[in-house]
């Protein structure tokens, strides 16, 4: 077992590979500091034990959480968002109270732990996590306080469903070609930030993948090319593949790596905290682009750049670990738009600017005559040069 539960304390087994975010959340739960009250922290520990093991409270868990990934921390933080709004012991939760939370969420009034707006479309994820959390609470009551158990008290959570939103909203950001992205990255305060932006676009990386990127994930090949295989840190992601770093990024990457005397395999490539990088990125993008670029939208920009460079959709799916045929990728992969062909552009100009078009055609005709005359002169010069050479050969004899 990766996680034990002894005397109502979570214990991480020796030798367990665990993500630092997960470790931090477990420590806060043990100290009754993750949630707003003892009840929520107590059942938070029960939930954590269940998530990390195959069976708990007679409930089967077919897919125990991999503690080397950040899935556990993400689940616990979703519960924390709910707790932050309601601030109630779990036994005081009611359908009316939870409806207040869902209504506020739909209206965009719920903030993340870092006080950022949360996409209303993600409400369904919070409902799913809460139902599982409440299911653990129900199983605990049945096992430990059976006399207090009443099916009616718990039935509402089983029937809980996330309200259906009318349509999906996608993050908005300016269209940027790779040259513009490169120019913007140079304006960032630190070389680390500049490189992180460019690699995020190149690899279509998620925030957690870039913050977990280590020296061992970089591959130096004999042809002086560098490939990167992003860490398999996210639970729901396709298998990662090695991706070649764009040539124009290589000098910056090599220079950045050379500044550290020795790299160990588990050294983080980008040690600065995510929050500091995110704040700087947003502030500078608003300053120079007049629009906000976030850590998350760098991944989408990578899709647009790849399409511009002619990558196939299947290649994009493999590079970024996107699910096959995902609707999100369909949205961002088609942002390049439709360019006018040369034929369409010529026809359009003829209709709108007939006088200029006639003038252009006249000049084009004159250019063709001039080219013909020049070619004739070249032929004559070739004959004259050949004749001169022949005369010189005769004189030498």
Q: pLDDT (tens digit, 9 = 90+) per residue, 18-34?
A: 989 999 999 999 999 99
Q: How confident is the model at residue 380 (pLDDT cuts 50, 70, 90)?
A: confident
**Who contacts 332 (Cβ-Cβ below 8 Å, separation ≥6)?**
170, 300, 303, 304
pLDDT of residue 151: 83
**Who contacts 130 (Cβ-Cβ below 8 Å, separation ≥6)?**
78, 79, 82, 98, 157, 160
- What's the average model confidence in pLDDT over 123-141? 94
* DSSP assignment of 275-336: HHHHHHHHHHHHHHTSS---HHHHHHHHHHHHHHTT--HHHHHHHHTPPTT-HHHHHHHT-S
Q: Let me know: does 306 contact 202? Beta carbons within 8 Å.
A: no
How far out from the chain centre does Cα 237 lie? 11
SS (H, E, C) 323-334: CCCCHHHHHHHC
Neighbours of 322 (CB within 10 A): 21
Q: Pick the residue with more confidence: 358 or 101?
A: 101
pLDDT of residue 4: 92
- What's the average model confidence in pLDDT over 178-203? 93
pLDDT of residue 396: 73
pLDDT of residue 328: 62
- What's the average model confidence in pLDDT over 183-204? 94
Which tens digit of pLDDT belongs to each residue from 250-286? 999 999 999 999 999 999 999 999 889 999 999 999 9
Q: Pick the residue with more confidence: 121 or 25?
A: 25
- What's the average model confidence in pLDDT over 140-166? 84
CA proximity to 299, closest of 285, 320, 324 = 320
pLDDT of residue 310: 82
pLDDT surpasses 80 at 65? yes
Tell me if residue 240 falls in helix, strand or coil. coil
pLDDT of residue 235: 60
Distance of alpha carbon 373 from alpha carbon 205, whole angstroms:
58
pLDDT surpasses 90 at 391? no
- Exposed / middle / buried, residue 23 (Cβ in 10 Å: 0-12, 13-18, 19+): middle
CA proximity to 4, closest of 43, 53, 74 = 53
> Would you state the structure tokens that stand for residue 286, as one six-digit string?
């608003």
Distance of alpha carbon 285 from alpha carbon 272, whole angstroms:
19
Distance of alpha carbon 27 from alpha carbon 273, whole angstroms:
20
pLDDT surpasses 70 at 201? yes
Which tens digit of pLDDT belongs to each residue from 330-356? 666 665 544 445 565 566 556 555 665
Q: Let me know: does 19 contact 69? Beta carbons within 8 Å.
A: yes
Q: Let me know: does 154 contact 131? Beta carbons within 8 Å.
A: no
pLDDT of residue 359: 66
Tell me if residue 145 falls in helix, strand or coil. coil
pLDDT of residue 340: 44
Q: Pick the residue with more confidence: 97 or 326?
A: 97
Range of lowest pLDDT (59-73, 130-144, 268-282, 302-316)? 302-316
**114 CB-side CA count, 13 A:** 8
Average pLDDT, the chain: 85
Q: How confident is the model at residue 91 (pLDDT cuts 50, 70, 90)?
A: very high
């Amino acid at each position: 077992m990766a996680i034990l539960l002894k005397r109502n304390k979570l214990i991480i087994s020796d030798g367990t590979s665990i993500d630092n975010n997960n470790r931090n959340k477990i420590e806060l739960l043990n100290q009754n500091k993750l949630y707003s009250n003892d009840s929520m922290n107590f059942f938070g520990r029960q939930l954590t034990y269940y998530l990390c093991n195959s069976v708990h409270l007679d409930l089967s868990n077919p897919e125990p959480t991999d503690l080397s990934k950040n899935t556990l921390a993400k689940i616990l933080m979703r519960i924390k968002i709910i707790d932050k709004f309601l601030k109630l012991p779990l036994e005081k939760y009611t359908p009316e109270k939870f409806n207040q939370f869902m209504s506020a969420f739909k209206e965009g009034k719920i903030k993340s732990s870092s006080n950022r707006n949360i996409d209303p479309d993600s409400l369904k994820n919070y409902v799913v996590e809460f139902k599982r959390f409440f299911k653990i609470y129900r199983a605990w009551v049945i096992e430990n306080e059976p006399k207090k158990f009443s099916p009616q008290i718990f039935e509402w959570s089983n029937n809980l469903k996330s309200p259906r939103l009318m349509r999906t909203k996608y993050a908005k950001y300016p269209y940027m070609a790779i040259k513009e992205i490169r120019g913007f990255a140079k304006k960032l305060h630190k070389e680390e930030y500049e490189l992180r932006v460019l690699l995020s676009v190149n690899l279509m990386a998620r925030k957690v993948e870039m913050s977990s990127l280590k020296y061992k994930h970089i591959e130096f090949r004999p042809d002086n090319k560098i490939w990167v295989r992003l860490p398999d840190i996210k639970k729901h992601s396709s298998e990662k593949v090695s991706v070649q770093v764009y040539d124009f990024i290589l000098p910056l990457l090599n220079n950045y790596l050379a500044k550290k005397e020795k790299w160990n395999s588990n050294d983080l490539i980008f040690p600065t905290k995510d929050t500091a990088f995110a704040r700087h990125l947003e502030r500078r993008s608003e300053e120079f682009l007049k629009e906000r670029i976030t850590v998350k939208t760098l991944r989408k920009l990578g899709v647009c750049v790849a399409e511009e460079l002619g990558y196939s959709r299947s290649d994009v799916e493999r590079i970024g670990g996107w699910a096959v045929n995902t609707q999100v990728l369909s949205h961002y992969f088609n942002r390049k738009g439709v360019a006018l062909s040369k034929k369409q552009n010529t026809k359009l100009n003829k209709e709108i600017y007939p006088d200029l078009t006639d003038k252009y055609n006249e000049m084009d005709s004159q250019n063709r005559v001039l080219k013909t005359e020049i070619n004739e002169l070249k032929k004559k010069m070739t004959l004259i040069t050949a004749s001169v050479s022949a005369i010189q050969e005769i004189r030498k004899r």
